[in-house]
Amino acid sequence: MGRVRRKKMHKGDKPLKEKYRTKRRTKDFDEIHEDMKPGNAEALLNQDLDYDKPGGAQHYCLHCTKYFIGARALSDHFKSKPHKRRIKALQMEPYSQEEAERAAGMGSYIVPKTVEVKTQGTKEVMEAEEPVKDGT
C-alpha cells in the first residue's frame, strides 16, 4: 500500500499573482522622473504633517518613493544598496511615446540619454547649506 502523493496543481500561477498585486507597488520610473522636477520635488519634500504616514510624512525618499520614521532612518536608507540600485536605474532617461514608435519600426533607433541623478539631501543638510540673506 503506497502513500498518496499530493500534486502541485497551480505551479505556474505565482508570477501571475505577483504581477497583479498592488499592495506594495511602487511608482514606475517615468512617474519618479516627473516627481523629480523642481516644483514637484519641493512639494513632496516639504509635505504637511500627516499622521497616517510613517514619520508624519516628514522624511521622504524621492527616488524610492518611501516614507521613513525619522531622519536617522532616512540617512541610513541613503547608504543602503536598494537606494543605490534605484539611483542607478533612474539615470536612464524614461521611455516616451516617440521611443515606443521607433521601437515599432516607425523611425531610427536613438540611444537613450543618461540623466544625472543625485541623492537628495536631508532637511537638516539642506537648511545648513542655504545662504543666509542679510537685510542690509
Q: What would the DSSP string read from start to end of 5-66? A: PPP---GGGHHHHHHH--TTPPPPHHHHHHHTSHHHHHHHHTPPP-TTSGGGG-SEETTTTE
What band does 104 get if pLDDT is binned at 50, 70 and 90?
confident
Place of cell 536613438: 110
Tell me: the pLDDT tens digits for 35-89? 999 889 999 999 999 999 999 999 999 999 999 999 999 999 999 999 999 999 9
Can you tell me the mean pLDDT for 88-112?
A: 85
Q: What is the mean pLDDT of residues 87-97?
A: 89
pLDDT of residue 97: 87
- Predicted local confidence at residue 15, as pLDDT: 65
Residue 49 confidence (pLDDT): 93
pLDDT top residue among 126 and 69:
69
- Predicted local distance difference test score (pLDDT) of residue 22: 74
| pLDDT the model gives residue 110 | 81
* 59, burial (CB in 10 Å: exposed 0-12, middle 13-18, buried 19+): buried
Q: Is the full-model pTM beyond 0.75? A: no
Tell me, what's the pLDDT at 112?
79
